[in-house]
Amino acid sequence: MSSSPSTESRWTPAPGEVLSVSDLAARVREMTERSFSDIWVEGEISNLRVPASGHAYFTLTDDAAQLRCVCFRSARRLLPFSPENGDEVLARGRLSIYEQRGDLQLIVDFMEPMGEGAALVAFELLKKKLAAEGLFDEGRKRELPAMVRKVAVVTSPTGAAVRDIIEVLGRRAPWVSLTIAPTRVQGAEAPSEIIKAINDAQLIEGAELLIVGRGGGSGEDLSAFNDEGVVRAVASSSLPVISAVGHEIDFTLTDFAADKRAPTPSAAAEMAVREGVHFKALLERAELSLLTSVSSLISEAKQKLTALDPARYEPGRKLEMARVHADRLIERSLSALMEKVWESRSRYREAVKELGLTSPELRVSRVERKLDSLDAHLAPTVTAILAERARSLMVADEGLKSLDPKSVLKRGYSILSDVSGRILRDAADVKAGDHILATLAKGSLDMTVDKSSDK
C-alpha cells in the first residue's frame, strides 16, 4: 500500500483480504482524519453535557442531519464563550471515527457563536477589556452640574430623541440653552461620526454638560454605541456625560463609560436639569418665607405699639403722631415689596408667553437675559427697600422710647398721683393732709402733704 495520501484515501482491500471490524474502523478513521483534518461546520448545539473530566460532548444539528462532537477540556477552556443548548455556532476541528462504536464525530478545537450570539460575545469581551483598563470605575465618574445653563447633545438631528429632549427642557427648564452636535446614530459610518460629534461638542462655548444618545431600536441598531472608539470618546470627555441610548431595557457600553446613565433621552433631559429645578423651587419657597417673616415682624411691631397704655402714661400728641407715622411706614414697606414681587411674576409670565413665538434657542436666550435682568434688579431693590424701612422703624422706635415715661423717670423725675391713681399736674389739686403716691424710676413713695403752694 502506497504512503501517498491520495493513494491511501482511495484504499481498497486486496482480493480475498478479510478485515476485522477493528481493522476496518481504524482504516476508516485514518482516511477520514486525513481527508477532513481542518474543517468548519455550522449548526445548532443540542444534548450538551460536561462530565467531571471537563470535556464537552454535544451534537451539532441542522434541518436534515446531525453530527456528534467532542471538545476536550484543554480546547474548551480557550473558547471565547460558554456554549449552551440552542446556540447557533461555527465549529472548527477534524472529522474522526470513534472506533468502539463506529460513530462519526467532530473533534472541535475552536468554536464561536453566530449572529446575535457573536455580537454578544464581542460585547462581553470588549466590556471586560475596558473594565480592566478602569474606564468603568465609579471613582472616575463626575457629578452633574447643579445649575446647568447650557447643554450639548450628540444625536441625530431628525430623530425622536432630540424632539423629546427639546420638549422636556422647554417645559422643565426654559432657562437652559441647547446646542445639538448632529451625527448619524446607526450604520457603518455612525461610530466615526459619533466620535467627531463628541469632540466637537466639547468645543461649544459655555457648554457644561453632554448628553449622548438615541431612541430605541434593535441590538444591531444600537451597536454604534458599543464601538470601542465611541466608548473611549465618552470616557475621555472633558464635559460630564449622560448616556441615553434606547429604552430602559437597553444597555450599551457607553452607559458604563458615562458619568450617568439615563434609561431614555427624555429621562436624560430631566436628569440634566433636576438640580436646577430643585434650586428654583427653593428660591420660590425662600421668597414666600421672606414675605411671611416681614409680615410677621410688621404684625409684631403693630402689636407692640398697640400695647402701649396712653391712659396711664399719656405721652400726648407726639406718641399718637409716632404711631401713625410707623403705621404708614409699615404699609408703604409692605406695599412696595408686594408690588416688586408681583411685577417680577408678571414679567416672568410675559417672558414665558414670548417663548411660544420664537425658535427654541432664541426663546431660551431671551428668557435667560430677562431672568438675569430681573435677578440683577430685584435683589438690590428689595434689599434697599427693606433696609430703608428698617431704618425708619428704628427711628420711630427711638422716638417712642424717648417718650416713654420710664425714660423720664430714669433722669430723676417722678410721677405724682392721688390715692385714686389720678395723675397730679397742679398743686391746687391737693391740700395739706392728703395722701399722695410718688412713682420713681425704681419703686414708689407714699407721702402726706404738709402744705401746698401754686408757686
User: 352-405, pLDDT tens digit by residue?
Assistant: 565 455 445 555 566 667 666 666 666 676 677 777 777 777 777 676 666 666
Q: Which residue, among 384, 404, 387, 393, has the nearest Cα to 325 in the 3D structure?
A: 393
Longest CA pairwise span in the chain (Å)? 174
Which residue has better confidence, 245 or 400?
245
Cα separation, 9 vs 237, in Å, equals 62
- Tell me: the pLDDT tens digits for 162-217? 999 999 998 888 889 999 999 999 999 999 999 999 999 999 999 999 999 999 88
Q: What is the CATH number of domain 146-274?
A: 3.40.50.10550
- Tell me: the pLDDT tens digits for 392-441? 777 776 766 666 666 666 777 788 888 887 887 777 778 888 888 888 87
Sign of the CA dihedral with 421 first, then 422, 423, and 429 last: negative
- Tell me: the pLDDT tens digits for 12-67? 666 767 777 887 778 878 888 788 888 899 999 999 999 999 999 999 999 889 99
Mean pLDDT of 146-170: 91
Count of H helices and E strands in the chain? 13, 13
- Return the half-sphere exposure (C-beta side, CA atoms, 13 A cut-off) of residue 370: 22
Backbone phi and psi for residue 167, each to the nearest 5 degrees, phi listed first = -65, -45
Ordered DSSP codes for 361-398: HHHHHHHHHHHHHHHHHHHHHHHHHHHHHHHHHHHHHH
Question: Domain 5-114, what architecture?
Answer: Beta Barrel (2.40)
Q: What is the pTM of this model?
A: 0.47
Lowest mean pLDDT among 71-75, 128-132, 224-228, 273-277: 273-277
Cα separation, 244 vs 234, in Å, equals 12
Domain boundaries, given as residue ranges, for the chain = 5-114, 146-274, 308-403, 409-448
Residues whose CB is less than 8 angstroms from the CB of residue 170 and which lie 6 or more positions away in sequence, other chains included? 355, 360, 363, 364
Percentage of residues in the chain having pLDDT higher than 90: 35
- Residue carrying C-alpha cell 405699639: 305
Q: Which long-range contacts (CB under 8 A, 24 or more apart) does 324-332 make?
A: 325/396, 326/301, 326/393, 326/396, 326/400, 327/302, 329/389, 329/392, 329/393, 329/396, 330/298, 330/301, 330/302, 330/389, 330/393, 332/389
Q: What is the pLDDT of residue 6?
A: 46
Strand residues in 86-226 grouped as ranges (E): 88-98, 103-113, 150-155, 177-182, 209-214
Please list the residues that pair with 436 across neighbouring strands. Answer: 418, 447
Q: Does 5-114 match 146-274 in CATH topology?
A: no
